[in-house]
Structure 1
Amino acid sequence: MTSIPATVVIGSAGRRLYLIDWFRRAFKTLGVEGRVVVTENDETSSAASYGDLARIMPKYSDPAYEAALLDLVDELQPQLFISVNDYELLHLHVNTDLADRMRQLGVLVPGVSAEWQRGCVDKLRMAQMLTAIGVRTAPTVTGGDGAGLSALAAYTDDVVVKHRFGSGSSGLAIVSAARAEEAVAESLLSAPAQSGGEPTADDVVVQPKLSGTEHGVDIVGALHAPGDLAAVLARRKLRMRAGETDKAVTVDPAPFVANSALIAKAAGLTGLIDVDMFLDGEGRSTVIDINPRFGGGYPFVHLAGADVPLYYLAQAMGRDNGFEWSRYEPGVVSAKYESIRVAGRVPVTPTSSVE
């Protein structure tokens, strides 16, 4: 009988080819024969043909997705499954019980509780949940809350407007408080609605613009002890591009540990979540957003020495021998750059020559 190599499945890897490389290196560090399987809906995405094995899947909203995913798990017997798509994660953890079913089959599936997964895709709900556990967050109102908008305008000069159910920085605008309603109307033109129908002003949120410096923080929960904090990894954002951190410098995570521990415990966290926090002049951190997955800021701490893919694989395979995966060097500045690869080929129809 042919043995099945150790396997990690990365769902909807998209443009994050570096994650595939870093999981490959983690296998080598562990001295394990392993493979990285990439599942994608688009066979010409950057990552679809970059893994050791590619599987083209139905879209997560397709009724055929569930059977296709369970068939893949049965065939490949992965030790670990992660996704870097917010909406696929919502489908796995909230809309279905697929995450739990994979766990019952012996697959390690990092994540947060269903309640916190819902909160991560609803910025108003997230603000309310953070406040309830004692974590500082920006006061948040919907674009349709006239009284709330007036209250914000009474004490802040500038506000942040963005999609309530958006991913990344969709619908983002920073305007004067006097222009809040105008910015809400503009953001509404591209806003996704929770119900899937026509969006309303309540599908846009408004927050005061915070003072201080913006940081990206990776909160890592122990993979086999939900809610226990395993590590905090932090960087100060130096430049943004298309809603993602483009340049950053690694920093001491100490100012963010208290909030991180509260979030990890409340969310039943296992694995990594990407959190945006502001740090003010008095050293207080305020949470503004949570993405329950590897975010675009993780590479900055990885290049400075952290190695979460190694932690994931070591834990998934029972090979954790004290690797110093959470140590990184503060003061390392890294910047993203452009690259490109051939993603596929399409049939070409010969053209007739003109004589």
Structure 2
Amino acid sequence: MNILLTSVGRRAYMVKYFKEAVGDYGKVHVCNSDKNSIAFRYADEHIISPLIYDEKYIPFILDYCQENSIDIVVSLFDIDLLVLAQHKNQFEELGIHLIVSDIDIIEICNDKWKTFKFLEDNGFKTPKTYLKLDDITNAISHKELSYPVVVKPRYGCGSISISLAYNEDDLKYLTRKVNKDIEKTYLKFESAITEEKVIYQEYLMGQEFGADIINDLQGKTQNVILREKIAMRSGETDIAKLVDIPIVNETLYRLGNILKHIANMDCDIFLVDGKPYVLEMNARFGGGYPFSHLAGCNLPKAIVDWANGKEVDNDVISAKTGITGYKEIYITEY
């Protein structure tokens, strides 16, 4: 059982998790467009890939899979998800399990405006969201919400260029700034399809949680793992505690059953006055997954077993509550 992790970046821990999952019965391959990916060090095999939006990217991945007898492909990056999903049938024709949700699901998650509309249409509580500067200023003038207001990229990732506006001057300045920031980063690729690249959101006051909504390879929800976020850094959770809050878990189970994503859905939720508000969804392993893994969940093993046609006991994809995890900075030589 050979596995390819695409856009692996700094996710060295994911390489280790999948190596443990395949054991002596396969290899873990990784690729990234940056030769300086530290995850290369821990993989059995690694290769530098073309950029995701390069026309050679998909042919490169398909050729590599065939040449190296790859059985499973897992992407670890939002932008990569959509490009791979658009070619899912080509992987399936080669007998390769592409662990990526369908295109419509990826688009709902990657496009924060579509995220808002999906959640609203399906009866989930979510922060009020606006697509135009005039709409947010009118909403504030009519007291539909008040400052501060969150200003962020419509196709965002990793908390890039997320800011708070405390007045109308801030809104105008941050709108210009976010648009400029988008053009300087990889966010420009997905954002290129629309003129409306910025969204404006109600600022929620409450306890923030992260979650893994775990579905099987047919999109059926198997479990939900909830983490209370204690400390954050650059958009990722630094310290988190595994918790069990029934009202939040029920909301997440319903979300997973409606969305029918594949494998993991990384989700951000706020508990405001005892009511869960879903903020964002990422159809991949997120930066919070290591906390779930630390507490006993082994989704990489489950993916390998599901791909092999085996049943997975719920204990494999469950985590103990009450455990607090801490990320540390670790320096290594490569």
TM-score of the alignment, normalized to the shorter chain, above 0.5: yes
Inter-partner Cα distance in structure 2 for 1:149 and 1:194: 28
Does 2:115 align with 1:126?
yes
3-state SS of paired residue (2:176): helix
CA 1:158–1:79: 2 relative to 1, 3 Å = same
* 1:128 counterpart letter in structure 2: K
Contact kept in structure 2, 1:188 and 1:199, CA below 8 Å = no
Q: 2:20: which partner in 1?
A: 25
Contact kept in structure 2, 1:232 and 1:256, CA below 8 Å = no
Structure whose CA Rg is larger: 1
CA offsets 1:134-153 (integer angstroms, 9 cap, x no match): 222111112x3313333146
Percent identity for Structure 1 against Structure 2: 28
Contact kept in structure 2, 1:83 and 1:293, CA below 8 Å = yes
Q: 2:317: which partner in 1?
A: 326
Contact kept in structure 2, 1:221 and 1:231, CA below 8 Å = yes
Inter-partner Cα distance in structure 1 for 2:82 and 2:180: 24
Aligned positions, number: 327
Does 2:63 align with 1:68?
no
In structure 2, runs of 5+ residues without a counterpart are: none
Contact kept in structure 2, 1:110 and 1:272, CA below 8 Å = no
Contact kept in structure 2, 1:159 and 1:206, CA below 8 Å = yes
* 1:13 counterpart letter in structure 2: V
1:270 is aligned, of 262, 274, 279, to: 262
Q: 2:216: which partner in 1?
A: 222
3-state SS of paired residue (1:246): strand
Inter-partner Cα distance in structure 1 for 2:332 and 2:308: 32
In structure 1, runs of 5+ residues without a counterpart are: 1-5, 344-355
Contact kept in structure 1, 2:12 and 2:38, CA below 8 Å = yes
Deviates more, 1:239-248 or 1:324-333: 324-333
* 2:10 counterpart letter in structure 1: R
Deviates more, 1:271-280 or 1:250-259: 250-259
3-state SS of paired residue (1:248): strand
CA offsets 1:278-334 (integer angstroms, 9 cap, x no match): 11232x211111111101011111111111111111111234353611221212111
Greater share of helix: 2
Does 2:2 align with 1:10?
no
1:145 is aligned, of 128, 133, 156, to: 133
Inter-partner Cα distance in structure 2 for 1:314 and 1:196: 37
Inter-partner Cα distance in structure 1 for 2:303 and 2:39: 20
* 2:155 counterpart letter in structure 1: F
Per the normalisation by structure 2, the TM-score is 0.90
CA 1:195–1:121: 2 relative to 1, 3 Å = closer
1:160 is aligned, of 126, 146, 150, to: 150
Does 2:239 align with 1:247?
yes
Inter-partner Cα distance in structure 2 for 1:253 and 1:310: 26
Contact kept in structure 1, 2:306 and 2:312, CA below 8 Å = no
CA 1:152–1:275: 2 relative to 1, 3 Å = farther
CA offsets 1:189-222 (integer angstroms, 9 cap, x no match): 202456766996x311111111211111111112
* 2:89 counterpart letter in structure 1: D
Q: 2:295: which partner in 1?
A: 304
Does 2:280 align with 1:289?
yes
* 2:4 counterpart letter in structure 1: V
* 2:20 counterpart letter in structure 1: R
1:102-121 correspondence to structure 2 within 5 Å: 102-121=91-110
Inter-partner Cα distance in structure 2 for 1:290 and 1:265: 14
* 2:61 counterpart letter in structure 1: L
3-state SS of paired residue (1:48): helix
Contact kept in structure 2, 1:233 and 1:253, CA below 8 Å = no
3-state SS of paired residue (1:44): coil
Does 2:195 align with 1:207?
no
1:82-93 correspondence to structure 2 within 5 Å: 82-93=74-85
Inter-partner Cα distance in structure 2 for 1:25 and 1:145: 49
Q: 2:40: which partner in 1?
A: 48
Contact kept in structure 2, 1:193 and 1:199, CA below 8 Å = no
Contact kept in structure 2, 1:161 and 1:183, CA below 8 Å = yes
Inter-partner Cα distance in structure 2 for 1:259 and 1:321: 24
Contact kept in structure 1, 2:209 and 2:226, CA below 8 Å = yes
Contact kept in structure 2, 1:156 and 1:177, CA below 8 Å = no
CA 1:138–1:273: 2 relative to 1, 3 Å = same
3-state SS of paired residue (1:134): coil
CA 1:298–1:198: 2 relative to 1, 3 Å = closer
Inter-partner Cα distance in structure 2 for 1:183 and 1:43: 34
Inter-partner Cα distance in structure 2 for 1:198 and 1:326: 37
